[in-house]
Structure 1
Amino acid sequence: MKVYDDECRMWTCRNNVVMVLGGHLVVAPFRLDTVKLASLIGVDKALDTNKENGVSIMDNSVEGITSFITQMKEEGHIEHFICDAVFEELLESKNIEGLNAALDNIADIPDKWLVQLANFAAVDEKLLRRVLKLPLSGDASTQTLVRQKLMLTSALKLISVITGMLKEDDVDKCIIDWACLLCDTHYLQCLLSKDDQVISATRDLHDAVEEHIEKTE
Structure 2
Amino acid sequence: MKSLVTVAALCAFAFAGTAEAGQGFSVPRPPAVLSPDLASPWLRQTEPGGRPTVSRKRTTVRARAAPPPIARQFLPTMVRYSGPEAPGTIVIDTNRRFLFLVLDGGKAKRYGVGVGRPGFSWAGAHTVTAKAEWPTWTPPEEMRQREPHLPVSMEGGLDNPLGARALYLGDTLYRIHGSNQPWTIGQAVSSGCIRMRNEDVVDLYDRVPVGTRVIVM
Same fold (TM over 0.5): no
Question: Which structure carries more helix by proportion?
Answer: 1
Question: Which structure carries more strand by proportion?
Answer: 2
Bigger radius of gyration among the two: 1
TM-score normalised according to structure 2 size: 0.23
TM-score normalised according to structure 1 size: 0.23
